[in-house]
Chain A
Amino acid sequence: MSAGAQAHTRPFQTDPRPRLKVEQVSYAYSATDRSAPKFILGPVTFEAQQRELIAILGPNASGKSTLLKLLAGVMKPLSGRVEVDGAEVGGLDSRTRAQKIALVQQESELLFPLRVWEYVLQGRYPYGRRLRFESDEDCLMAGNALAQVGADALRDRWMEQLSGGEKQRVILARALSQQPALLLLDEPTQHLDIGGKVELLRRLRKLADENRYTVVVVTHELNLAAEFSDRIVLLQKGKPLRIGTPAQVYQRDLLEEVFEAPLEVELRVTGRPRVILRGSH
């Protein structure tokens, strides 16, 4: 029996130690050296296990991306600590960090044409020495990553010829070729059509279930988050309003207040809530 199939039959058995531990994390910044710091996040506390998919929700400018960057260790928190597998991410050197955490942000425009496989191989950088050339193992890992996102066939295409959905899968493949424990995604569904959004979330769910990733995704898609995530972190103006399962967080009054829109929440037979826009007439 393959490891993947075995994992699939026991999807809820996880390592009891938390993989990601966020303790009282806050962040503030000053526009200038002399002005008083402006608190934009925190304090936030939560944990995530292997195979868990966490969604960070909230209106614009609620601190979602800031939280994600703090988790990734690319920004240092003002107070509190973020641990991945017991190690504080701020204390890791950049290569070790990149072996544990992959962060997918909105991608930059490519300057020069690049093949899909070249792009995915870049994810192997944290495992190489300064001038080391890619080994057979690197190619194997990049190939696996492409297979995990169902992008085998795209391998020899040019990046600029890909559709939005295909590109998102290739970007995800580069993150997977880092072999991270923690996979962070900042609004990955932004430029996708509804089919692409569902497909991406389904894939992330599968990666968490079968390949033991811990996935944290920032998104605006309330219903997709309710459908695919284990827990929700709901932010408003930098404050964590509620952290819990979708059914615990999706309360009509709470969501209406946070998103300032007339909403209806219904609980489906699956136990997962669904949000619909309440008509004004």
Chain B
Amino acid sequence: MKPLTPQRILAVCGLLLAVLFVVVVISLRMGAYPISISEIVMTLFRGVAGQREQIPSEFWLVVFGLRLPRIALGILVGAALSTAGAGFQALLRNPLADPYVLGVSSGAALGAIVSLVIAPHVPGLIQFAAFAGAAATITAVYFLGRRGGQLDSPTLLLAGIVSASFLSAIIMFLMTTLSGRDLRGMAFWLMGDLSSPAAIDLRWLYFILLVVLGSIYTTSSDLNLILTGEQEARHLGVNVKRVKLVVYIGASVLTGLAVSVSGAIGYVGLLVPHVMRMLFGTDYRLLIPASALGGAIAIVLADTLARTVVAPTELPVGAMTALAGAPVFIYLMRRKVR
């Protein structure tokens, strides 16, 4: 009997942070302007130490001006989507749950677009509208996915997929009729893309991310029990109602946050928690931080590939994640059917 200890969580997080750092350095290295690893590391350390005057200005521009903001955005989006996916998987007791598959990302995208149409210059409104869209969609999908008062796994997935295509149709309609306005491209909202910088200070978004991650984390031992059965969890003393409220709202905020700055990137929330489970086990006290860091690694990697494989043209990052995610979805679905 070897129960989970805080030491093990710290060790796993330390390891993942190290991997993330390596991936970030690699990502900083890739691009049109050539810059060596040692120059990147030197620039990073001097930048952190506040010795900006000692950094050649072109290095400063490439690292801190161009590539790092995009990476920071990717880390935020990956952490948010993966944590939301892990949360939905536990609450809905469905290993195939993911913000994109369930249509929650499309709901958030629609909310964001509507806010851009109505009031394009109110700071923070797009994030709030994306959250509202996400929350409304998960509520609708939750009720559509019930059968005889019980959450039914295939019905839930179908409800999510149908909602996603319905919402995407509305998005396409809006984008087509409102063309010429500053709404970004259709590919951005439907596939996800990290090429356009966020219109809001990233520090605010990171602050929200950490607060919501923290609140979801407080329910992690409850989620372990809910995973083995909602009834049983209730009998063991879990306040299921409170946990559901915290995690549904938290996961919707995270999805809204991610979609408002990157569009609807798919399958990260599905893929990453599963890989983390395979590597480190199913305990949510470890799985939540591991998924957040793993999601960050996954998105930074995917975005680096997206902007280099067919350079100088860029692919949307969502295309990369779907290429990897869709086969995994099918594999998990087949395994469950068997």
Contacts and interface: CB of A to CB of B under 8 A. Distances in A.
B227 interface: yes
Contacts of B67: none
Given A125-B221, A131-B221, A112 B3 contact: no
A95 B221 CA distance: 14
A126 interface: yes
A126 B217 CA distance: 18
B282 interface: yes
Contact of B1 (A121, A131, A133): A121
Interface string B219-243: 0111011011111101111110000
Contacts of B239: 94
Interface string B267-283: 00000000001000011
B236 A178 contact: yes
B146 interface: no
Nearest to A184: B235
Contacts of B3: 121, 133-134, 138-139
Contact of B95 (A111, A138, A155): A111
Interface of A: 72, 74, 94-99, 102-103, 105, 107-108, 110-114, 117-119, 121-123, 125-126, 128, 130-134, 138-139, 142-143, 155, 178
B221 A130 contact: yes
Contact of B228 (A94, A103, A119): A119
B225 A122 contact: yes
Contacts of B221: 125, 128, 130-132
A122 B228 contact: yes
B307 interface: no
Contact of B224 (A102, A113, A122, A126): A122
Given A122-B224, A131-B218, A142 B237 contact: no
A125 B240 CA distance: 13
B285 A131 contact: yes
A112 B224 CA distance: 10
Contact of A98 (B93, B229, B236): B236
Interface of B: 1, 3-6, 89, 93-95, 217-218, 220-222, 224-225, 227-232, 234-239, 277, 282-283, 285
A142 B1 contact: yes
B237 A133 contact: no
Contacts of A103: 235
A102 B95 CA distance: 28
30 contacts: A72-B235, A74-B231, A94-B234, A94-B239, A98-B237, A102-B235, A103-B235, A107-B232, A108-B228, A108-B229, A108-B231, A111-B89, A111-B94, A111-B227, A111-B228, A112-B95, A112-B277, A112-B282, A118-B283, A119-B228, A121-B3, A122-B225, A125-B221, A125-B225, A126-B236, A126-B237, A131-B285, A134-B3, A138-B3, A142-B1
Nearest to B231: A105
A123 B6 CA distance: 20
A217 B217 CA distance: 37
A128 B228 CA distance: 18
B236 A155 contact: no
Contacts of B224: 122
Nearest to A98: B237
Contacts of B237: 94-99, 125-126
A112 B95 CA distance: 8
A31 to B, nearest CB: 12
A180 to B, nearest CB: 10
Contact of B218 (A102, A107, A130): A130
Given A121-B1, A142-B1, A111 B236 contact: no
B236 A122 contact: yes
Most buried by A among B220, B230, B235: B235
A132 B222 CA distance: 11
Most buried by A among B3, B236, B239: B236
B165 to A, nearest CB: 26
B46 to A, nearest CB: 39
A123 B225 CA distance: 10
A133 B6 contact: yes
Contacts of B4: 133-134
B209 to A, nearest CB: 19
A111 B225 contact: no
Given A125-B238, A133-B4, A108 B232 contact: yes
A107 B238 contact: no
Which 10 residue pairs of A and B lie closest in terms of their CB atoms, listed nearest first? Answer: A108-B229, A98-B237, A134-B3, A95-B237, A126-B237, A112-B282, A94-B237, A117-B1, A103-B235, A125-B236
